Structure 1
Amino acid sequence: MPEAPPVRDPYPLKRPLDALAAVVLLLLTWPLLLLIALAVRVDLGRPVLFRQVRPGQHGQLFTMMKFRTMRDATDASGTPLPDAARLTRFGQLLRASSLDELPELINVLRGEMSLVGPRPLLPEYLPRYSPQQARRHEVRPGLTGWAQVNGRNALTWERKFALDVWYVDHASLALDLRILLLTVGRVFRRADILPEGQSEVAAFLGSVPAPLSVPAREVSGAAAHTRSLP
């Protein structure tokens, strides 16, 4: 079995700052985490946490943790109902506020995720990426990312992956701080949670051979902003 490539951070302080921020945020939010856990237990029962295997840096699998937002419900044949049919009102509130993502701070503390990076998707998507799109796995996945603050689920898959790869090539402390600030605003506005007119995000089934690029005006604008930060 081939040895996994070494872990690479885009800049030296990324991992130490991730770990420090995860510790601080967990200490500050533990009462909220406890209240949400109790509410999930009452609304959905056990387990309180939703655990799912996701690919991290270099495609290495890890178990991502979130608060549960959906009930267990199946049709007559035992097949799980669509997400929209299993999502409770409380679960919708958690998703809309992104509070269901808070347990991922534990993944950040473990070094499996970063505060900022491409969002971790499903393992079955790995063979469907083009070589260019697969570059999104060159860095740790994040709680939020460049694609999340530039349209999130309102974007096409190709557009998301183009933005993810742009982040891989331009990641810096200044850009990460910008993304975190933009994320706070988007969470409060509850922007781009689902594609317009859809109740859930469609699966990624593969892409066109030629990867899409980020428009030059967007790249130059982000680069100019990054240069202006200390």
Structure 2
Amino acid sequence: MRCGRRGWASAPSPRRWTIPDGRAARTEFLRAATAVLAAFAVSGLFSSLAPSFLREELHVHNVAAVGAEVGLLFIVALIAQVAAPERWIAGRRPASAFLVAGVAVFEAGLWTRSLPTFVAGTLLAGTGIGLAFRRGVGVAQRLADPRRRADLLSTYFLFAYTGTIVPTLALGLLDQTINQDGATLILAVAVVATTLASALSRPTTAIA
């Protein structure tokens, strides 16, 4: 503790990670957390790939154009969070469908060296990222103990930022041993598998 002008103040303490009590609640939270991990993995993978792909493969050297393409993913994700129909946000599968389609399409754009295909994949993936993130925050808030809501949300964001960091590091490591196309294909398959596992897992009704 320390003393300030207005008296004693507690030193800030980090939030502890936690998961909800009860089997059904844990399962629902972990599905939402896995979905946002996959969504942010797409974001990290895209952010790592887009600048070099545009410059080296499509010979786009205008910095503003490269930045606009990278920013497009995040703009679309933001719009999806605030403007998507409620039925898209409430269900698990719409976000996963957009993510899988987005990864498939922008991966096709990478292999075919097609800018329109890559942009189309960006739009689809951005929509999936926005839907997955908003739904996951809602699930975490609904399942959290009111006294420990920040703890559960910090766990949720831990999954999200893990999804951002790990694929980026993995891409750097794989790119040193195989070509970029092969490295991105491996990571794309891993992201799709994680997304489908989250979307297609059966709901749990039993409470521990």
TM bin, normalised by shorter chain, reads under 0.3
In the superposition, the TM-score normalised over structure 2's length comes to 0.27
Q: Higher strand share goes to which structure?
A: 1
| Higher RCO, Cα 8 Å, sep 6+ | 2
